[in-house]
Chains A and B, each alone.
Chain A
Amino acid sequence: MELLLKKQFDKDITMFVEHNGYIAHPKIKQNTIHNIEHGTLGKVNSIVIHRTAASTAESTLNTWLKKKSGAHFLIAKDGAIYQTAGLNKICWHMGLVMSRCRLEDKCSDKDIKIIKDILFGSGTWSKKYKNVLNLEKKKNYPDRYPMNSDSIGIELVGLYFGTGDKGTFEILTKAQASSFLWLMTELLQKYSLKIDEDVFAHGAVARKKIYEGVGAFETLKELYR
């Protein structure tokens, strides 16, 4: 499968980003959803991989039409790539980002004290974790995980299986994996990002289902090498 995908990729032309932040390429369907675009996206430091927890691209596109959160790209099971927001626009796709220094055991004593004061302090649970996020927002990448303000979000259609928070997501279809590899290769090149340092599974860095994007990221890494 890897060789097949590489061969197909080699034949492809390089994507071109227009001034409005949209990609002009036959592989990409422009499907702008203005209500998920929020302000200007400056320097792109990272790419975040999401799973929709839905069975079709259409259901996710319809949901985004009615909401403010969404991602820049949506990849359907048949491999169709929808660009739903300009690459120069911020999308709200991250949610409650976790503290990177805490998870990687690199926090200063001061940081740890602030985090403990927040989490053991008063207020609602949601407010406490929001305050940890606000603390992270003051840091610069890569001292923190990606934020909406400096990352591109890619959603891959796929259901969530299981109860609780440790369930898994649908395995990518071949067509989905192929499109995902192509898009990621182009974006990594465009923004000079490294797959091992600047790409993240959503569930690994934010308060979501812990395996969200993890399997898709593993598939990507296998195909990319």
Chain B
Amino acid sequence: MNKLLTILFSLLFVSCAVTETYTDIVITSQGNSLENTKLMKEVCKQFKLSEDQVLSYFQEATRTDESTIHNQHDILPCSSRGEIKISGIEYSWIIRAGGVGEYFNDTKKVLLVCEDKCCKITKGIC
């Protein structure tokens, strides 16, 4: 009986879990350099993402916060930017080489980081 109840509750939990949908991905700029030097501008031109990579990134990256990024992650100078609809709401996004990214609009900012599993799936970002 207990086993049956556990299974029923698990099924109920899974069916209620919120799954975000990612649509309307637009890449507005590629290979941006945070550093204003000739060398780094050239280096960053290599950082180009496909829409599939962007989608994978949003599906696999995990949410984090500024303090954790500060303590645990590096901000590499190359990035790409664009727009996306997440569960129907429009956001701008930044994905940086190395895996730190974010999406934001006027009212919300969410920080993301791509770690081991995410890096394996989204080749070319980390």
A residues adjacent to B (C-beta < 8 A): 50-54, 59-60, 63-64, 67, 69-70, 95-96, 102-103, 115-116, 119-120, 124-126, 129, 159-160, 163-166, 206-210, 212
Q: Quick check: is B37 within 8 A (CB to CB) of the other chain? A: yes
Q: Quick check: is B3 within 8 A (CB to CB) of the other chain? A: no
Q: Quick check: is B82 within 8 A (CB to CB) of the other chain? A: no
For B46, what are the chain A residues with a Cβ–Cβ distance below 8 Å? 120
Contact of A165 among B34, B68, B72 (CB under 8 A): B34
For B70, what are the chain A residues with a Cβ–Cβ distance below 8 Å? 50-54, 160, 208-209, 212
For A209, what are the chain B residues with a Cβ–Cβ distance below 8 Å? 70, 75
Give complex CA distance A70, B70 in Å.
10
Q: Is the CB of B109 within 8 A of A53?
A: no
Q: Is the CB of A120 within 8 A of B66?
A: no
B residues adjacent to A (C-beta < 8 A): 34, 37, 39, 43, 46-47, 66-72, 74-78, 92, 94, 97-99, 102, 104, 109, 119, 125-126
Given contacts A103-B37, A164-B94, A210-B34, contact A126 B67 (CB under 8 A): no
Residue of B nearest to A125 (CB): B97
For B71, what are the chain A residues with a Cβ–Cβ distance below 8 Å? 63-64, 67, 69-70
Contact of B39 among A63, A64, A116, A208 (CB under 8 A): A116
B122 CB, nearest partner CB in chain A, Å:
11
Give complex CA distance A60, B76 in Å.
23
Give complex CA distance A68, B5 in Å.
42
A71 CB, nearest partner CB in chain B, Å:
10
B69 CB, nearest partner CB in chain A, Å:
7
Q: Give me 24 A-to-B residue pairs in the complex whose CB atoms sit less than 8 angstroms apart, sorted by A's number.
A: A52-B70, A53-B67, A53-B69, A54-B66, A54-B70, A59-B67, A63-B67, A63-B68, A69-B71, A95-B74, A103-B37, A119-B43, A125-B47, A125-B125, A125-B126, A126-B126, A160-B66, A163-B94, A163-B109, A165-B75, A166-B34, A207-B74, A208-B70, A208-B74
For A129, what are the chain B residues with a Cβ–Cβ distance below 8 Å? 74, 76, 98
Give complex CA distance A160, B78 in Å.
20
What are the 9 A-B residue pairs with the smallest beta carbon separation, nearest first?
A: A125-B97, A53-B66, A53-B70, A54-B67, A207-B74, A96-B74, A119-B43, A163-B104, A160-B66
Give complex CA distance A164, B102 in Å.
8
Most buried by A among B72, B74, B119: B74
Given contacts A60-B67, A124-B126, A163-B94, contact A207 B75 (CB under 8 A): yes
For B74, what are the chain A residues with a Cβ–Cβ distance below 8 Å? 95-96, 126, 129, 206-208
* Given A63-B67, A124-B126, A208-B74, 8 more pairs with CB closer than 8 A: A54-B66, A69-B71, A69-B72, A126-B99, A129-B76, A163-B92, A165-B75, A210-B34
Contact of B76 among A54, A63, A126 (CB under 8 A): A126
Give complex CA distance A152, B99 in Å.
28
Most buried by A among B34, B78, B119: B34
Give complex CA distance A63, B71 in Å.
9
